[in-house]
């Protein structure tokens, strides 16, 4: 069944007005008409079955019929990735949403050399991935910040899985506590020696290896999240 993320509160009988793009998708692409059902979620009120109440010249009105799933949140995992080329960042955001990250944080390192990013497009990619994968929330995507600033403001209660291209412990043995966690992926040229030394010295950091091969940022992000999920994530459900 079609799923949409909507911003409005959801309760029995509530009227929901999708965006113009969503309305066009429902009526022009999926050919829905009055009385047809679909699913919606807003990140706080669970998933609801709604029906098409009205088809207007510009948009549609939906009516909430019943809650089909209570609100549930995935693991408390953030993905932090050094900004790389636009297409690769878009892939990372999409896969982060599919693999359960609650937040994607973009960072600028000493060796960052990348395209200008559109946060509205990244938000749309995260939203579409959440709709397609059945999750009941949409991960946030943050504006890029410098790595030093990000570490200066770090909450020490959140463990940081630092994917160290020079070597580290296997994820399965190094990551054993359920969270909260963050995963840090570096730029295509790797972290500088200064950055690596600081990261390893931090008391909340766990340095891990992703294997014997040097991975591109998007591949590393997918591999790291997969290994983390297998070790302490919510894949057992």
pLDDT of residue 236: 67
pLDDT of residue 189: 86
- What's the per-residue H, E or C state across the chain? CCEEECCCCCCCCCEECCCHHHHHHHHHHCCCCCCCEEEEECCCCCEEEEEEEEEECCEEEEEEEEEEECCCCCCCEEEEEECCCHHHHHHHHHHHHHCCCCEEEEEECCCCCCCCCCHHHHHHHHHHHHHHHCCCCCCEECCCEEHHHHHHCCCCCCEEEEECCCCCEEHHHHCCCCCCEEEEECCCCCCCHHHHHHHHHCCCEEEEECCCCCCCHHHHHHHHHHHHHHHHCCCCC
Structural domains for the chain: 3-69 (2.40.240.20), 77-232 (3.40.1280.10)
Which tokens go with 173?
Answer: 């043995």
Cα Rg, the chain, nearest whole Å: 20
pLDDT of residue 29: 95
pLDDT of residue 178: 83
Going from the first residue of the chain to its last (237 residues), give the mean pLDDT of each consecutive group of 10, the final group possibly shorter: 96 96 95 96 98 93 98 95 95 98 96 87 98 97 96 96 91 90 94 95 96 93 96 81
């Amino acid at each position: 069944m079609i799923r949409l993320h909507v911003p409005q509160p959801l309760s029995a009988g509530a009227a929901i007005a999708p965006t113009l793009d969503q309305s066009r998708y429902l009526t022009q692409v999926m050919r829905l008409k009055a009385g047809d059902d679909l699913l919606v979620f807003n990140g706080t009120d669970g998933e609801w079955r709604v029906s098409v109440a009205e088809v207007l010249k510009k948009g549609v009105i939906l009516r909430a019929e019943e809650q089909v799933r209570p609100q549930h949140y995935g693991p408390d995992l953030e993905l932090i990735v050094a900004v790389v080329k636009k297409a690769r960042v878009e892939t990372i955001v999409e896969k982060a949403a599919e693999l359960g990250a609650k937040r994607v944080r973009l960072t600028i390192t000493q060796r960052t050399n990348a395209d200008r990013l559109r946060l509205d497009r990244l938000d749309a990619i995260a939203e579409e991935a959440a709709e397609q994968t059945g999750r009941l929330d949409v991960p946030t995507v943050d504006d890029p910040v410098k790595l030093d600033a990000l570490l200066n403001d770090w909450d020490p209660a959140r463990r940081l899985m630092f994917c160290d291209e020079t070597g580290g412990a296997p994820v399965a043995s190094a990551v054993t506590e359920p969270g909260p966690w963050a995963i840090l992926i570096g730029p295509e040229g790797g972290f500088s020696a200064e950055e690596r030394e600081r990261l390893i010295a931090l008391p909340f950091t766990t340095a891990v290896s992703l294997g014997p091969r040097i991975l591109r940022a998007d591949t590393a992000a997918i591999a790291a999240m997969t290994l983390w999920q297998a070790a302490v994530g919510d894949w057992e459900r």
